[in-house]
Amino acid sequence: MIQVILPILAASLLSLSFSSFNLWLFAWFGFAPLFISLEKKTFFRSFVIGYLCGIAFWSLTIYWLIHVTLLGQIVLILYLAVYFGVFGCIIYLSRFLPSAAILFFIPCSWVLLEYLRSYLFTGFPWAQVGFSQYSNLPVIQIADITGSWGVSFLVVLTNTGLYLALRKRLKRGVFLICLCVLFLSLAYGFYRLSYKPVLCPAKDLLKVSVVQGNIPQDLKWDKQAAGGILNNYIALTQAAAKDGPGLIIWPEASLPFLWGEDAAIAQFRQVFSLAGQLKVSLLVGAVSRSGKAYFNSALFVNNLGQPAGIYNKLHLVPFGEYVPFKNTFPFLQAIAPIGDIEPGREYTIFEQPADFAVLICFEDLFPELSREFIKRGARFLVNITNDAWYKEGSAPYQHFAASVFRAVENHVYLVRSANTGISGFIDPFGRPLSIVHDAVGKNSFVRGYSSQNICLAPGRRTIYNRYGDLFVVFCLLLDSCVIIFILRKRK
């Protein structure tokens, strides 16, 4: 019985660190029960116990996916749990190593598994262990060097060190190494946060407003509700315009009309006219059509009321915007019976009122997209999304965490407009600013808008922005050396 209880306990502690309660501390010791449960187990049993932990963790973490697709949720959980099973096998292999090697082999292996999960089969980088620390500002500052992978490494390193100490396998020298890594990471974080803000030149200041319409998902494409939805966003935009912004941002698919269809010309002209009357640029989310292809798009309207550019989403959501491998495996269509959205092809930079780029929906989970936009000249990032699919729960907070890391990694402001939340601003150090909320402080499934000045002063590109996932390469090289050591020792 204890072999079942311990991995489920580990899964529960880790999942709570991703909950809306923001219990990030649990992640720092959440793996320990799993390590204990894997003691003296065979290779196969280690996989099974790890797999059980993975099923429990993902069931508790992405429970909200049931509101979209039950069958798809089950398939996804069974797939994602495999990575925990492999992690169990890695812990089994670590028993052949000295404690100093274990201390780095296990966290490096976890980073490699997270990286693989983030890109294999189009990728699912949701709920990386590092993301649990998004509000732990001193810890996450190293992301501008290592990306989110470095924070995941620190969390699993600490778990490994605690376990070795519990089993009296943590020698003094190894303990000092662990302590030194943590101390240097925190020292760097506090150093970064101690920067005194430099007065931003007036020419580099831009006031931006975000609106949060709070449209229920079952009304999003209801033709009878379309007029009311548009009026809702017009009213919020008129209210936000009183703050004098240069740019007002609407969420993903905020317009319940198809851009590119003659039947929707009148509604889009209404939006263009609104921008011209208010003399403010608008960024609106809409589904667009070109020929027979449909795109998830961000449409830019300048302050003269003219459509001035469009960005088509590059990285689509599998089983959300398209069904992968459906021609080879037709039964997959039953998991999420949807019409296909086509991926975009261009990294679009909007040049007015300042150079910026848009990440639509879960594109903010893929760091290479943000890095590429910044390399191409974007001075701040925008994320527009619609998390209404998942109802109230932890999903909006789990998604918000990814945006925090993209801001820190590139040291730029990130502006978020979400249909039901969380909408607001994230500064280059990951601090949330001007989050949309109601009178009691609730910030999801509420209607409102928020405005904030952001500084566009050009800064030095970060190490992570310049060189990308070098830390993952380091983890790969270290693990390769350890595996060679194990094979030689076995011989």
Q: Is the pLDDT of residue 202 over 90?
A: no
Reduce the secondary structure of 256-287 to three states and give it as a string. CCEECCHHHHHHHHHHHHHHHHHCCEEEEEEE
pLDDT for res 269? 94
Which residues, in sequence order, are bridge partners of residue 415?
382, 425
Q: Is the pLDDT of residue 316 over 50?
A: yes
Q: Count the Cβ atoms, other than its own, within 10 Å of residue 6.
A: 21
For the chain, the structural domain boundaries read 2-195+470-490, 202-456
E strand spans, 201-315:
205-212, 247-249, 258-259, 281-290, 293-301, 307-312
- Helix (H) or strand (E) holding 380, with range, is strand 380-385
- Percentage of residues in the chain having pLDDT higher than 90: 77
CA-angle at 35, arms to 29 and 37, nearest 5°: 120
Domain covering 202-456 in this structure, CATH number: 3.60.110.10
Q: Is the pLDDT of residue 255 over 50?
A: yes
Of 90, 107, 176, 120, residue with least CA distance to 146 = 107
* Catalytic residue list contains 313: yes
Average pLDDT of span 442-470? 92
Calculate the average pLDDT of the chain: 92
- Selecting among 108, 361, 455, 475, the annotated active-site residue is 361
Euclidean distance between CA atoms 140 and 128, whole angstroms? 13
Q: Is the pLDDT of residue 122 over 90?
A: no
Of 415, 444, 438, residue with least CA distance to 428 = 415
pLDDT for res 352? 87
362-387: per-residue pLDDT in tens? 999 999 999 999 999 999 999 999 99
DSSP 198: P
pLDDT for res 337? 47
Q: Is the pLDDT of residue 176 over 80?
A: yes
Q: Count the Cβ atoms, other than its own, within 10 Å of residue 392.
A: 14
Average pLDDT of span 119-124? 92
* Catalytic residue list contains 292: no
* Catalytic residue list contains 361: yes
- Selecting among 41, 53, 108, 252, the annotated active-site residue is 252
- Selecting among 313, 321, 342, 455, the annotated active-site residue is 313
290-306: per-residue pLDDT in tens? 888 999 999 999 999 99
